[in-house]
Amino acid sequence: MPHYQINHRKSTEDSGYDSGYESDGGTTYSPVKSLGAGHYAQARLFQSISNQAVAVLKPVRTPGDIEEALIKHRFFQTIYPDSRSHLHTIENDYRLVVPYLQYVPYTQLTMDTPELHKRFFLSAIQALTNCHDKGMSVLDLKADNILYDATTYTSYLIDGGLSAPLGSRIDPAAFQDENQTKVEARKNKHWYIAPECWSVRPIPVLATEAMDIHCLGALMYNLLENTSTEMNALVDSCLEIDPQKRPTLAELMSSLECMDLVNMELPKIK
């Protein structure tokens, strides 16, 4: 795993970001542009003279949430083991170097035909299958943390801030509260997350593949337009409250591959 030495030169142009860093292979990277910000971290594109690119994350506020950065780091190391990923801590601050995946987020895709429904659903399933095969669960899959490569029909997962190894305890700080009333309120607010993720302290909850299948169903529910009766039934099956009733990723893939797009019955428009 490559190591990166962050340079601490500050400049007005960098808007508070480090002005550059050098990998242990001697490659120097410089900041190019902002890639956006989330609740915990903001990301910026860094690039070398030879056009190698990485994303560098820094906390939105200091002290940064080191635990969240550690979870993201573990996620990227696990899912993309051949790409650059390194967490560099600086007292109460950090810089997380992760692969820069220059693809289109699902939020920018149009999914309005049976062919596209099937294509994007299958692509998301393949991304989750890759994730599960490597022993990791996402837990908060949503449209802005899955990217699509239109040239290969391949999807890529990013973020991973709530991810956990399959079979391990999911983050209690993220998924637990002090009483059932507060837990139910969080369930309703974050309905796309599998309901079994939530619990009252200190009940432990372990990560499962079925949790991600619920998120996958919510993703498709939000994005697919003018869906057929058959596709609606498949999405609904992913959203079953009982995780034992949800299909596996392999079953979903088989169902999608068997769909007859020509004879699909689309809902009537009133």
Lowest mean pLDDT among 84-88, 157-161, 242-246, 253-257: 84-88
Rounded to an integer, the average pLDDT of 13-42 is: 65
Identify the pLDDT of residue 9: 36
pLDDT tens string 53-105: 888 888 777 666 788 889 999 999 999 998 878 888 877 788 888 888 889 99
Closest CA to 159 of 65, 220, 71: 71
Rounded to an integer, the average pLDDT of 168-185 is: 93
106 or 91: which leads in pLDDT = 106
Identify the pLDDT of residue 21: 62
Task: Judge whether residue 175 has pLDDT over 50.
Answer: yes
Identify the pLDDT of residue 255: 96
Identify the pLDDT of residue 27: 67
204 or 261: which leads in pLDDT = 204
43 or 223: which leads in pLDDT = 223
| Alpha carbons 126 and 120: distance in angstroms, whole number | 10
Identify the pLDDT of residue 137: 98
| Cβ neighbour number for residue 240 with a 10 Å cutoff | 16
Decide if 234 contacts 254 (C-beta within 8 A).
Answer: no
* Contacts of residue 235, Cβ cutoff 8 Å, sequence gap at least 6: 217, 220, 221, 224, 227
Residue 196 pLDDT class (50, 70, 90 cuts) = very high
For the 104-257 domain, the top CATH level (class) is: mainly alpha
**To which H or E segment does residue 218 belong?**
helix 209-223
In the chain, the N- to C-terminal Cα span, in Å, equals: 57
Task: Judge whether residue 10 has pLDDT over 70.
Answer: no
| Alpha carbons 85 and 78: distance in angstroms, whole number | 10
What residues does each domain of the chain span?
4-99, 104-257
Residue 11 pLDDT class (50, 70, 90 cuts) = very low
Task: Judge whether residue 262 has pLDDT over 50.
Answer: no
4-99 has CATH 3.30.70.3270 classification? no
250 or 267: which leads in pLDDT = 250
